[in-house]
Amino acid sequence: MRNPYVRILSAYLEKIQDRNDQNVRLQFLARYGLSNDRDVSFEDFLDIIATDSPDQVDPHFASQHINTLSSVITPAFVGHLERFDRVAEFLSAFGIALRRHAPHATGAHDRVSQFFTRTTLSSVEKLYEQDFELFGYERDINRLAPIADWTRQQDVSKLHSFLVEIELRNENRDLRKSRDELLKERENLQNERNEYRKLAARLQAQLSATHSSTSWRVTAPLRAAAALTKSSRESD
């Protein structure tokens, strides 16, 4: 895991601002209807991804609890980038050695003050609220390290239950959204049906008027003949 403030800033710097990954950048611009030469500020970037569904956001920018599939996989250990020595210690118990290699480093940790304002701080706190809560990070921008070692402070079963609860809340949100969409669709169909009924009534009225006019024209000779016959009889 990584501090949400630093993580999203690092992703923005490498993928969007510095344009080091054109594939991700161009996909981002295309997804949100932006031109390829568009310069996107950090504030605009946060506003844009906030409009998307959390599980549809590019993995580089998505919440960490979504990326880890923690609702279906119960972790035995959660490591923090800020405490890399503990990650190395955990892996060494399984005979896995780590070496430091960071070709995509952006120095985001040292550039926090350049990009974060009250507005962007608030945006990140809302976007990654569950990451802050779940993985032990403070919302204080001056305290970027996690509050405590997850393995000592969190119970695995409790974590799993919490993640399942998050998924259920997301599912309920999607169900409510689907219900609202269905209600809106039903309303639209009812409006269309009413319009069709009005159109049918107008067509019926026009047809009746046309039929009456045609009948009058067709029977005109008969009516004229009858009038002549009547006039002739009266003359006799």
DSSP 103-160: TT---GGGSHHHH--HHHHHHHHHHTHHHHHHTT--S-TT--S-SS-HHHH--HHHHH
* Residue in the structure block whose two tokens are 């993985």: 135
Burial (CB < 10 A; 0-12, 13-18, 19+), residue 167, is middle
Q: Is 97 domain-assigned?
A: yes
117 — alpha (psi -120 to 50), left (phi > 0) or beta? beta
CA dihedral 57, 62, 68, 72 (to 10 degrees): -50
Confidence of residue 209 (pLDDT cuts 50, 70, 90): confident
Q: How many structural domains is the chain composed of?
A: 2
Does 48 share its domain with 16?
A: yes
Can you tell me the distance from the alpha carbon of 3 to that of 26, in angstroms, rounded to the nearest whole number? Answer: 26
Mean pLDDT (the chain) is 81
Q: Is residue 161 part of a domain?
A: no
- Cβ contact 8:46 at 8 Å: yes
Q: Is residue 160 part of a domain?
A: no
Shared domain check, 177 and 80 = no
In whole angstroms, give the CA distance from residue 200 to residue 212.
18
**Which amino acid makes up residue 28?**
F
Q: Could you tell me if 104 and 217 lie in one domain?
A: no
- Host domain of residue 224: 167-235
Mean pLDDT for 14-19 is 87
Residues 16 and 108 in one domain: yes
Same structural domain, 185 and 79: no
Q: Would you mind telling me the total number of residues written for the chain in this entry? A: 236
Residue 229's pLDDT band, with cuts at 50, 70 and 90, is: low
CA–CA separation, 200 and 197 (whole Å): 5
User: What one-letter code names the amino acid at 19?
Assistant: R
**Which of the residue ranges 3-7, 19-23, 126-130, 132-136 would you say has the lowest mean pLDDT?**
19-23
Instruction: Tell me: do 21 and 89 sit in the same domain.
Output: yes
Highest mean pLDDT among 14-23, 27-36, 183-192: 27-36
93 and 137 part of one domain: yes
pLDDT at 180 over 90: no
**Of the listed ranges 27-36, 87-96, 99-108, 189-198, the one predicted with least confidence:** 99-108
